[in-house]
A and B are shown apart, each in its own frame.
Chain A
Amino acid sequence: MDDGLHIVASSMNSVSRHLDVATYNAVNSTIPGFQNRVITTRSFETKLDRELAREPSLLNTEEVNAFISGSVVPSANPMALALQGDGFFTIQTPKGRAYTRNGDFMLDKNGALTTRAGYPVLGENGQLRTSKTDVAPHFDPETGSLFQGDQEIGRPRIVEFANTGALVRVATTIFEAPSEAGERPPQGTAMITNSLELPSERGLTSMVGLITANREFEASQRVASVMQRTYERLISRNA
């Protein structure tokens, strides 16, 4: 019977994590380039631990990456870019290079192309800097290069990864790539100018995730409650 409470605790922990992830996804479902967090739950490998072999219901919950293309919507921001396919933009953070699909870019006070948080977007040859003149920079829809008037400044650097499962999320839409992610040149990723990529699910599945997590948690709580009353009976009988 003491196994039962451990199973219930394990289930409630797992459901709490599902609830966290569902809330996170629902709240961020309108951010351009946002990719849902996904968690999977499975039983512990019972063969690895003979102690746990009696309790195959203990749960192991881990986070995985599952990237999908969202839907492209037009944007009034002339610096907005959307990606369709598996690629990422390259940005420069204080910790080094990072990658994002959030193409809601802007020009900072020095004229450099940056994300909304201020991280510079890297082109094929370093940062993309415009000069502060009256000529407004624009992206060429055919080639995706940033132009200021007739002068070509550069094309944002797009990369793909052979193993997206190795990418580590460091901010809502920013990922870091360890070497096992397998960075490679893009094959088939398209960049669309004056547009943003919005998550295609729009939070509906996350809402259902919230409802189911709530009910599962409640069910576990009921089980714990019944067990606790059974323990009480056992103890009070023996008192």
Chain B
Amino acid sequence: MIRAMYTAAAGMQAQQTEVDVIANNLANVQTAGFKRSMTNFEDLLYVTMREPGARTANGSAVAGMQVGTGSRLVSTTKVFTPGALIQTGSDFDMAIQGDGFFEVQGANGERLFTRDGHFFKDANGDIVTSQGLKLVPPINVPPEAISVEIAPDGNLAYVLGDTTQNIGQISIVRFQNPAGLASEGGNLFRQSSNSGDPITLAPGSEQAGTLLQGFIERSNVDVAGELIALILAQRAFEVNSKAIRISDEMLNTTNNLTR
């Protein structure tokens, strides 16, 4: 019964972490390009009182007797399902239809990746994110370009009189395992040893997504799904606390066998 209480406590801690993750998903329901996290739990070590398949004296095998010791959070993974697209009409807003990320350059020159397609033209004409990080490969828009057109294959061009001037090409980066990317915050991801190396492609080629100008991808958090998960976590928490209470009552009964 003492072990039951610690097992239930481990379960409660696991549910507390689950609620933390759900709360973060809900907080980011309006964040462009946000990908929701899901938790993965595993059961803890088992106390083996009898090994399954152990032999009795006359040679027959017996069933095992193993008692678990609780659960714990083993990982949180990002779920890369696409979010809904919203039309903004802004020239530098791009949504990726399909797989892939935009690459931007971090403050210290590191390679960062994002699905948030909300870009701007800064004072020098460079295409930057809301935090001022430059798009990679860098593209500079000349001042005479009043409006730009971004084709689905990433080609950036502007119209001057009768002619169309090409400015540059936007690339998409794909990963072997996007769920293995490390989150940096700020809608940014960083490469990790789990994600594989970034593969730079032209949009539309080799399964990279195409670009849709004037749209932004919303977060893929499903509010109804998260609320249900929240209710389940709360009930699981409650049920574990009940296990502790019942174990305590059983110990009370044991102690009251005598006065």
Q: Which A residues contact B (CB, under 8 angstroms)?
A: 142, 201-202, 204-205, 207-208, 211-212, 215-216, 218-219, 222, 225-226
Whether A212 and B2, one on each chain, are in contact in the complex, defined by CB atoms closer than 8 angstroms, is yes
Contact (Cβ within 8 A) A222 B257: yes
How many angstroms between the C-alpha atoms of A211 and B3 in the bound complex? 12
- By beta carbon, the residue of chain B nearest A223 is B258
B152-163 vs A: 1/0 string, CB under 8 Å? 000000000000
Query: Is A226's CB under 8 angstroms from B258's CB?
Result: yes
User: Out of B6, B254, B257, B258, which one reaches A208, CB within 8 Å?
Assistant: B6
B12 with A204: CB separation less than 8 A: yes
Is the pair A201, B2 in contact by a Cβ cutoff of 8 Å? no
Given contacts A222-B258, A225-B259, contact A208 B9 (CB under 8 A): yes
Chain A contacts of B108 at CB under 8 A? 142
Contact of B255 among A142, A208, A219 (CB under 8 A): A219
Residue of B nearest to A215 (CB): B251
| Other 16 A-B pairs with CB < 8 A, given A208-B8, A216-B2 | A202-B16, A204-B9, A204-B13, A207-B9, A208-B244, A211-B5, A211-B244, A212-B2, A212-B5, A215-B248, A215-B255, A218-B252, A219-B251, A219-B255, A222-B255, A225-B259
A215→B256 CA distance, assembly (Å): 11
Which residues of A have CB within 8 Å of B244? 208, 211
List of 3 A-B pairs having minimum Cβ-Cβ separation, nearest first: A215-B251, A218-B255, A208-B9
Q: Which residues of A contact B258 (CB under 8 A)?
A: 222, 225-226
Check A215 against B257 for contact (C-beta < 8 Å).
no
- Cβ-defined contact, A208 with B5, below 8 A: yes
Give the CA-CA distance A132 to B255 in the complex, in Å.
64
Interfacial chain B residues near A219, Cβ < 8 Å: 251, 254-255
Which residue of chain B has its CB nearest to the CB of A220? Answer: B255
Contacts of B8 in A (CB 8 A): 208
* Residues in A neighbouring B9, C-beta threshold 8 A: 204-205, 207-208
List 15 A-B residue pairs with CB atoms under 8 Å apart, sorted by A's residue number: A201-B13, A204-B12, A204-B13, A205-B6, A211-B5, A211-B248, A215-B2, A215-B248, A215-B251, A215-B252, A218-B251, A219-B251, A222-B257, A222-B259, A225-B258
- Which residues on B sit within 8 Å (CB–CB) of A201? 13
Which label, helix, strand, loop or mixed, suits the secondary structure of the A interface?
helix
With the chains together, A196 CA to B229 CA distance in Å? 29
With the chains together, A105 CA to B200 CA distance in Å? 45
Which residues of B approach A to under 8 Å, CB–CB? 2, 5-6, 8-9, 12-13, 16, 108, 244, 248, 251-252, 254-255, 257-259
Closest to A226 in B: B258
Distance A218 CA – B252 CA, assembled complex (angstroms)? 8
CB closest residue in chain A, given B247? A211
Interface core residue of A202, A212, A219, A226 (most chain B CB under 10 Å): A212
How close is B191's CB to chain A, nearest CB, in angstroms?
19
Docked CA distance A219–B258 (Å):
10
Instruction: List B contacts of A226 (CB < 8 A).
Output: 258
**CB of A19, distance to nearest CB on chain B (Å):** 14
Residues of B contacting A211 with CB < 8 Å? Answer: 5, 244, 248
Q: List the B side residues contacting A205 at CB < 8 Å.
A: 6, 9, 13
A204 CA / B72 CA spacing, docked (Å):
14
- The answer for the CA separation of A219 and B244 in the assembled complex, in Å, is 18
Q: Give the Cβ gap from B66 to chain A, nearest Cβ, in Å.
A: 22
Q: What is the bound-complex CA distance between A225 and B12, given in angstroms?
A: 36
Residues of B close to A142: CB separation below 8 A: 108
Contacts of A216 in B (CB 8 A): 2
Q: Which of A202, A207, A211 has the most CB of B within 10 A?
A: A211
B6 proximity list for chain A (CB < 8 A): 205, 208
Task: Say how far B247's CB is from chain A's closest CB, in angstroms.
Answer: 8
Question: Taking each of A142, A215, A216, A222, which has the highest tally of chain B beta carbons within 10 Å of its own beta carbon?
Answer: A215
Q: Which residue of A lies closest to B254 (CB)?
A: A219
A219–B252 CA distance with the chains assembled, in angstroms:
9
Q: How many Å lie between the Cα of A202 and that of B20 in the bound state?
A: 13
**Measured CA separation A205–B69 after assembly (Å):** 14
